[in-house]
Structures are given as structure tokens and as C-alpha cells.
Amino acid sequence: MADVVLNNLSKAFGETTAVENLSMTVPDGSFVVLLGPTGAGKTTTLRLISGLEQADAGTVEINGRAVNNDTPAQRNVAMVFQQYSLYPHMTVRENLAFPLRSPILKTPEDEITRKVQDVADVLHIAHKLDNRATALSGGEMQRVSIGRALVREPSIFLMDEPLSSLDAKLRADLRIELKRIHASLGATLLYVTHDQIEAMTMATHVGVLDQGRLVQFGSPREIYENPVSLYVAGRLGMPRINALPADLFPGAPTGAKTIGLRPEHIDQEGGKACKVVRVEHLGDQTRLHLTLEGHDIVTLTDVHTDLGTGDEIAIQPRNPLYFDAGGDRIV
């Protein structure tokens, strides 16, 4: 395992800029999650590190060595793709052994057998080893492709939305699995997702990308509590942060255009009166959809609330975030 350092990395496809001046350090043993909407440059960043794409400018350093001119094989990285991940003409066992048989690793057969068995046990696919890769369910396929990364000891694991095509329960299971693997192997991971639960639960660091640029890098808590911009604030939090005109509530600093209120940062005593539009009981939480002077607000309330549609309550902000006209945070 090793540090991975990106210096001013840029990549364009024709007219489209995919990654622009990206600098970032993935510390040894960390679990870094890249967040951003589709087209933010997350996948391109992974492909630049893996060597599947060549950077237009900037350098990639793995373990202190610039690897820009190395082939993907020489970089010793493992990658889990979003889909199309297994070699369909091979069995599960052959898929898992494939990286170990590469001319770079040339692992002895007895060691291959042992490592494949170990990984299959960890991922609960040992009973499927002799199945064809095509005879697996979606969740099993993705476990095998994660396994194909785990059999090696790469400098870094690159994962491109590995859980996005799975159903909710499998996603939750594999999330825990990945976190456990990270902890037990001390592996370095760079993980791309647009699922904020994956980011919050697994990451040691989160990087937020916006149109190819890294706009904030820090721990999940930092990103959640101290976003540098409205864009970053909108990336984490469920329900999403409420963005309202700053003059809706008193106390806005000068230059503030927008007030950002996390659902849990709204006190339901005193302040401005607003109307309940809808009450959503989700079991573990209850969401209140409110309307205040024509603006929609979502907040949380007591799980067993008596409130109903049409009721009136008064709300006021607690620990609000303020943003200027450009969306940047005002502290």
C-alpha cells in the first residue's frame, strides 16, 4: 500500500474538460470517497490513476514515483468497475486467479489456490468457485469482481461505483464488507460514488468534485458541517439541505444571498409561522414538508408527531450556513 499523489492533473476529451487542475493526496491506508454528480470527473480521475487514460497535464505519483509513462500493469493498481466486470468465458475460480497468473505476478499454482480460496471465503462465494461467471446473480458477480481486486496486493484499490447496480440490501451488506476489508487489510482505497450514505459510512476522507475540479477535501464530518460552498453542502445530507433566501430570517451577515438550513437545524419553537404541507412517516424518522412564504422546507420532527397537513407551526434556524451570491460560504 502507498500514498497516491495527484499534481495539477488535467484531462479533456475533445472540447469537454473532464478533469481540471486536480491536486489531491490519498494517504496510505485511507478510504477516500470522491463525490459528485454525473460528469463531475470522478471516473476520469480513477482512469487517470489506473493508466487507462493518459493525462494532458500534471502527474500521478504512486509511492513517491511518477507513473505517468507506466502501463496500467506496471502501476500495480486494482480496479473494480461499475459493470461488465467479469470475464464471461471463465469460471469464478479462473476469474479470481486471472490477475495472479499475469506475467507481472506469475504466482505459483499452490499459492493461487490458497489465495483464491481465502478471498472466496471472505466474500462468501466459495461455493460458487466452479460456476461460470455468467451463472451468478448481480450481487455475486460484483463480489467476484471485488474479489479479483483483493487477491492482489496492489498499491491502491480503485472502485468505480461498485455497488450502484445492486439492490438496497446487498448494497448495505457489501458496504459493511468493504469497510471491514479496509480495516483488516489496512488497504488504501479510492472510491467513486454519488451515494452519500456510502460516502458517510465508509470514508476516512471525502473529496467533492465539481466539473472536473476538486472543490473540497476533508473528513466526512468536515464536509457535512463545514461545506465551503452551497454545492458541497448539497452533496451530503438526507433530506437535502434547505437553500432559502438569506433575508427570510433575521441575522444574516452582509453579502449573504442564501441561507442553508440542514433539516435537523430548524427549531420548531418561535420564529416564523409556516404551514405543514405533508408529513412523511419513514419509521426511524418523520419528515415535515413545510411551506414558508412560497418556499418549500423539509425538516425532521418527533417520530410520533401529531402534526397533520394544514397545521401551522413556527420555525427558526439554528446554526445556519450562509452563502454569497456565487454560492461560496460566508463564515
Partner 1 sequence: MSSFSITEPSSRQKWAAGTLVILYAVITLLPLFWILATGFKTPADAISYPPKILFEPSLEGYVNLFTTRTRVTPEQLEALPPPETWYEAIVRNRDMVIAGPSRYGERFLNSLIIGFGSTFLSIFLGTLAAYAFSRFRVPLKDDLLFFILSTRMMPPIAVAIPIFLMFRTLGLSDTHLGMILLYTAVNISLAVWLLKGFIDEIPREYEEAALIDGYTRFQAFYKVVLPQAATGIASTAIFCLIFAWNEYAFAVLLTSGTAQTAPPFIPTIIGVGGQDWPAVAAGATLFLVPVMVFTILLRKHLLRGITFGAVRK
Record the cell numbers describing residue 8, joined without a space: 495539477
Print burial letters for 275-298: b (CB count within 10 Å at least 16), e (below 16): ebeebeeeeeebbbbbebeeeebb
Nearest to 174 by CA among 151, 204, 144, 194: 144
* CB burial of residue 273 (10 Å; 0-12, 13-18, 19+): exposed
Task: Kindly tell me which of 12 and 292 has the beta carbon lying closer to partner 1.
Answer: 12
159 versus 276: smaller Cβ distance to partner 1? 159
Least CB distance to partner 1 at residue 144 (A)? 10
Facing residues of 322 across strands? 259, 330
Per-residue cell: 269: 419553537
CB of 82 to partner 1, least distance (A): 9
> Which of 134/219 has CB closer to partner 1?
134
- To partner 1, the closest distance from the beta carbon of 57 in angstroms equals 20
CB-CB contact of 321 with 243 (8 Å): no
Here the cell at position 66 is 511518477
Are the C-beta atoms of residues 124 and 180 closer than 8 Å to each other?
Answer: no
Q: What's the closest the beta carbon of residue 325 comes to partner 1, in angstroms?
A: 43
Query: Which residues of this protein are in contact with partner 1, per CB under 8 A?
Result: 50-52, 71-73, 77-79, 81, 83-89, 98-99, 102-105, 133-135, 138, 141, 145, 148, 165
For residue 208, which amino acid is it? V
Q: How far apart are CA 18 and CA 13, in angstroms?
A: 7
**Pick 148 or 257: Cβ nearer partner 1:** 148
- 104 vs 273 by CB, closer to partner 1: 104
Give min distance, CB of 75 to partner 1, in A: 8
Shortest Å, Cβ 160 to partner 1: 10
**Which of 94/324 has CB closer to partner 1?**
94
239 cis-preceded (ω within 30 degrees of 0): yes
